[in-house]
Chains A and B, each alone.
Chain A
Amino acid sequence: MASLKRSFDSDPLAANISSKVYVRSTKSGKVQKIVREVYLRQDIPCSSKLCKTCLATAPKTASGTPIPPVLSNAPAGTKNFPQGHYIVPDTNAFLTAMDLFEQDSAFYDVIVLQIVLEELRNRSLPLYNRLVSLTKSEDKRFYVFFNEFRLETHIPRLEGETVNDRNDRAVRKAVAWYGEHLARTKVKTIPAVVMLSNDRDNLRKAKAEGIHACSLAEYVKQLKGGERLLDMIPETEDGDVIKEKKPGQLLYPEYFTMSKMMTGVKSGLLHQGTFNVSPYNYLEGSIRVPAFPKALLVLGRENINRAVDGDLVVVEVLPKEQWKEPSTQVIEEETIAKNENPDADEGEDVISEKERKALQEEVKRTQSKTTEGHAQPTARVVGVIKRNWRQYVGHIDQSSVSQSGQQGRKQDSVFVIPMDKKIPKIRLRTRQVAELVGKRILVTIDAWDRGSRHPTGHFIRSLGELETKAAETEALLLEYDVQYRPFPKTVLDCLPKEGHDWKVPASTDDPGWRDRQDLRDLLICSIDPIGCQDIDDALHSRPLPNGNIEAGVHIADVSHFVRPNNAMDTEASIRGTTVYLVDKRIDMLPMLLGTDLCSLKPYVERYAFSVLWELTPDADIVNMRFTKSVIKSREAFSYEQAQLKVDDASQQDDLTKSIRTLMALSRKLKQKRMDAGALSLSSPEVKVQMESETSDPIDVKTKQHLDTMSLVEEFMLLANVSVARKIYEAFPQTALLRRHGAPPKTNFDELANQLRVKKGLELNVESSRALADSLDKCVDEKEPFFNTLIRIMATRCMMAAEYFCSGTQAYPEFRHYGLASEIYTHFTSPIRRYADLVAHRQLAAAIEYEAVHPSVRSRGRLEAVCKNINVRHRNAQLAGRASIAYYVGQALRGKATEEDGFVMKIFSNGFVVLVPRFGIESLIRLRDLAEPEPVASFDAETYTLRTSGSREVAVELFQKVRVRVTDQKDETTGKRGVKMEFIRAY
């Protein structure tokens, strides 16, 4: 009997074939062994401009021209490599210090090995995408070398070798090969090929093999101005200073294994959801899970267990005796964890003495209550499925800076306080404390291990001095993840070549006129806010011979200019929406389209997408149709101008009459909507007036409501609803719609209870109709604002409206709760919202104007689009509000005014006051009332807070109070905000 061991010598091609074997586990639970054959070749070029041999053999493009080499023939040198050098980083280098590679001052001529790229993709998709975009940028000269496919650099895995060791060896092999290969070019100065790694073992082996290798820190020190870059290398990887952690110092419980979590979630014992931190209490988080109607509470550091706001986590419900009520206290990290030393982490408990005290008080409160039903289920985090860490804007906590750090260049630990109060302090090691104090800086979290109280991160860049407009605006955009970089060239290439000279073709035989209706003779006008440049919509009306009225809404035909799936479309779908800040607008589409070619400017012809109705004088729809059209707007009014025109009885021209007709119809439409149960909600809205030259804020005004606003609004709603019906009929599975879920009744529990206790009013939340009616009844004769206050508070109990793809929900779920409409979509603002653009394409396909593009037909893609634009939409709103808040702060700078406000939330150690005049709300803590802090008794049943001692005050919910509003720089967040001082209660 003989055993045969196949030898490869017999097969002359065997050397060129290798294989990769791994196990793939699919979502459905299948486990497969996958074998991939790897065909090794010798024509993969080194892509150095020095090398002539590779050029001869390298594959050519389809047109027969060779691909030009990427790497420079005279790469920059460093102290240790004066002859110039190419850099070959390993995976860890990219994982830990991607920001370094994006620097402009250094890191050119980088060879990105295929194995590194693949490993990076498996470890972190965002970093991978950043690296890929780097490799595409021409001036950075990043070259992806397919080392796994090149015969000389491919290495098989050895017996007993781990994957990591093998990959490290592959990197070293590639570095060695590059060295030899370049040596063969026989040029005078051969650049060194330097491996960058933070793996000490890898470095040691490289040195043993005679390869140039540096740790990141070593390398950066050789560069000019390297000191500054050193901070971008995360602390934990910083060479030899890794502190040996002694056992017994682990502060947080260990996470469950992934499989344990998955099994638990599947069997319903554990729950998965997104972790949210309460904006008032950084030690209280909540997590909404599908299994329960109400969110689960996560209280205390240990239970939060290193979860950061936004992470996808798995929680375990705690035993019933540990259930608690949500806190009625304001706990801010900076007040409790104020004097921590970032260097001293040893021997500390996870819960500091002060924190523990705060918790005890909580417990006492819960226990003193007789009504047990109030306790809410609590949970603890047992694992993190996906970290949602991003880059955070913050500033250095002045109090954490040690004296020595102020002067020396030595590395120092400081705390960074993120602007977002929900994010914990981040420990940062930096050499530039002195320079960074007082600046807005961008940092990222690297890790949070069990032994460390706070997450550790590293510095990315400085945005500028605190409170400068540029720094604050950029901070805002970064915080809300708004894409604010200028449009890349690929996007601009998609614009019409004629630029601003583009015109609607004069000849109606032009292909642009195909299936377009000529509506140029209609008396169309647009009504928008003052100074609006991106005019999405215009209207007209005219009487019909049968006594009915034709009304039309004309929307900019953006889909004519933005074709599906080109670079501009992709960019727009990523941006999702235009973001409006007080002094700045970040467009979704390039200016040329948004403010000129698509904008329905007056006196010029424009392409439009029109919705035309025949309405009875009672505003009942007789019929409607949709058509692409060419229009010529007669006038662009502001709301105020239009209002004046309508109100002025002397104006009797056709245009004014048509606006009056529209106005009359809109009132009827609104009445119908209200009868159906539409809600009239409210949020405090203000407008910041700017000085025109310097755009410094000078005053704040609350927005006025005009009838012309609701005129436009009603017709837009009507158009949206009409379009929604049409596209749903045409594409029952893939129509892009917008829904507003009915809020769970429990959301209103608190508000209803407050109203009952304080005002004796009943809030009926059975249906949107009932809610609308009971909101109407919430009036206080003495206080006209009371109704608005309640509406503001009710709005906060609602769910957020969302875009969705019709196939993902059942028809009854389509309902828009706030508008009381069965079906709804966004159609009327394609210049500034991507959803509208998709709706345009779908409508165009539905009326057979154009073929259905695959991208508006694929449900998977639409779902992805919906997900993105929902997030973007929300972020844009938040960014807009934050911008207003910042400018309100600036406008009040140095002024102190007394204003009326209303108590809208009350805690045992403070209360929140809303000042309608500025649309701002602010927390007034007990300790702000007087020094020393007055003793307070809080009655949660009646929502009353009484203080005694140093100052005697009684504050209750909904109460009107007089406050002094001043500006104040918030020491912790570095934001200039509004500070309120309590003067007296009315």
Chain B
Amino acid sequence: MASTQHVLLSPAELAYLHSSLSQTPPIRPDGRTATQFRPLVAETGILPGTNGSARICFADGTEAIVGVKAEVEATGRQEEEGDEEGEGGSGNGNGNGSDWVEMSVEIPGVRDDDSGTAFLAAMLSEAVVADGGLVGRLRINGRFHWKLYLDILLISPPLSYPLPLLSLTTHLALLATRLPRLKSEGDEDPFFDDDWAAATYLYPRGEKRTRRPPVTLLVMAVGKNIIFDPSKEELAVADVTLAVSVGEESKPDSEKQKRGRRLKLVAVRTVDPPSRLTPPGVPNAVNAAYGAGGRQKQTGPRPVEPEAVEGVWRAPRGGAKPVVMAALVQKTLEAGGVADEVLDALDGVDLG
């Protein structure tokens, strides 16, 4: 999928950007290191009427809010039958759980049935559900479950590809989500405490802390470099772009005491960077304006792909190589890496 924005950069600018990002270490237009995130401001609990909400504002001015609403829903027949077929009755992890979470993404200036938006929503919810942990948490008892409605709103113009922003905000909103405390037992009709202060977190913290919802990060490769959280301009010259969803793995008991977390890969999607749609640069050698002999060239068939010429922009072609993908994923997941760092940072947000 193309990440929508057409970048208004000339081939020469693209070529310059590409070569500066290809250096070791890469030089990014905003001066960040390859693994540095844009600074962001985050808060939770901004929408009092929701079960959980969050707002994140990136330094480049993009801002998103997410509200989570929960509703009690009777677990359908199908689910029960599914259980009987040998799912073990745990009620989590199977495909049916996917309709327990409904997401809607709204981006200003874009129709909500736009393929780009739909794709974003699919990517976000896929990660949340694929993690497996969430659906189990939404189960109230054998007959009822919570249905989550996530409303994801980008409230600034989409200055850069909003996936990481939306994912982080969603993550934060889910962390802040609380559900009324269940008072009934067993398979009774659910009955809840009317005291909101007694409501429990969907992802409990502190003593009983559990795995957190996954985050989806945008990673791109330029030449040999792997760059995190690319800006719009950087995306315009990306060779490969990946959306990597990272979740936490539950730690075996032996490691419970150790600090740090074990990360796991939840999903990977390739994203078509806008670089593919950029116009190619024309090497001086073939540029008539520079006096290149047009006549010479007229005789032979024009090559479809001209040879790469150093310093001349050429849109990347072809898919990502497995080696590159592996490297991207590897880099994301490494301990103390970017994902770790992001999760740590989000941990610091006050959920009050």
Contacts and interface: CB of A to CB of B under 8 A. Distances in A.
A21 B345 contact: no
B189 interface: yes
Contacts of A5: 43, 350, 352
Interface size class of B (residues with CB under 8 A): 35 or more
A163 B198 CA distance: 10
A33 B196 contact: yes
Contacts of B50: 33
Q: Among the interface residues A1, A21, A23, A35, which one has the most CB atoms of the partner chain B within 10 A?
A: A1
Interface string A800-840: 00000000000000000000000000000000000000000
B324 interface: no
B42 A3 contact: yes
B350 A3 contact: yes
A335 interface: no
B185 A260 contact: yes
A25 B43 contact: no
A522 B70 CA distance: 72
Contacts of B191: 25, 257-259, 262
B277 interface: no
B189 A2 contact: no
Contacts of B184: 257, 259-260, 263
Contacts of A163: 195, 197
B48 interface: yes
Nearest to B55: A4
Given A1-B345, A3-B348, A257-B185, A23 B180 contact: yes
Interface in A1-20: 1-6, 19
A531 interface: no
A23 B185 contact: no
A29 to B, nearest CB: 6
A276 B156 CA distance: 67
B303 to A, nearest CB: 48
B185 A33 contact: no
B183 interface: yes
Q: Among the interface residues A2, A19, A157, A262, which one has the most CB atoms of the partner chain B within 10 A?
A: A2
Given A1-B39, A6-B43, A22-B194, A30 B71 contact: yes
Interface in B43-61: 43, 46, 48-51
A733 to B, nearest CB: 32
B183 A257 contact: yes
A927 interface: no
Nearest to B37: A1
B49 A33 contact: yes
B189 A263 contact: yes
A33 B184 CA distance: 18
Nearest to B346: A1
Interface string A41-72: 00000000000000000000000000000000
B192 A25 contact: yes
Interface residues of A, number: 29
A291 interface: no
A856 B188 CA distance: 40
Nearest to B72: A31
B-side interface mostly:
loop
Nearest to A20: B196
B190 interface: yes
Interface in A923-938: none
A257 B184 CA distance: 8
Nearest to B195: A163
B188 A259 contact: yes
B349 interface: yes
Contacts of B350: 3, 5
B263 interface: no
Given A4-B43, A157-B197, A31 B71 contact: yes
Contacts of A4: 41-43
B193 interface: yes
A23 B183 contact: no
Contacts of B346: 1
Contact of B196 (A6, A21, A162): A21
B187 interface: yes
Closest 7 interchain pairs by CB?
A259-B184, A259-B191, A263-B188, A1-B345, A4-B43, A21-B196, A3-B349
Interface of A: 1-6, 19, 21-25, 29-31, 33, 35, 157, 161-163, 257-260, 262-264, 266
Given A260-B188, A263-B188, 8 more contacts: A1-B345, A2-B41, A6-B43, A24-B194, A25-B192, A33-B50, A35-B49, A259-B190
25 contacts: A1-B37, A1-B40, A1-B346, A2-B39, A3-B349, A4-B41, A4-B43, A19-B48, A23-B192, A23-B193, A23-B195, A24-B194, A31-B180, A33-B49, A33-B51, A33-B196, A161-B197, A163-B195, A258-B191, A259-B183, A259-B185, A259-B189, A260-B188, A262-B188, A264-B188
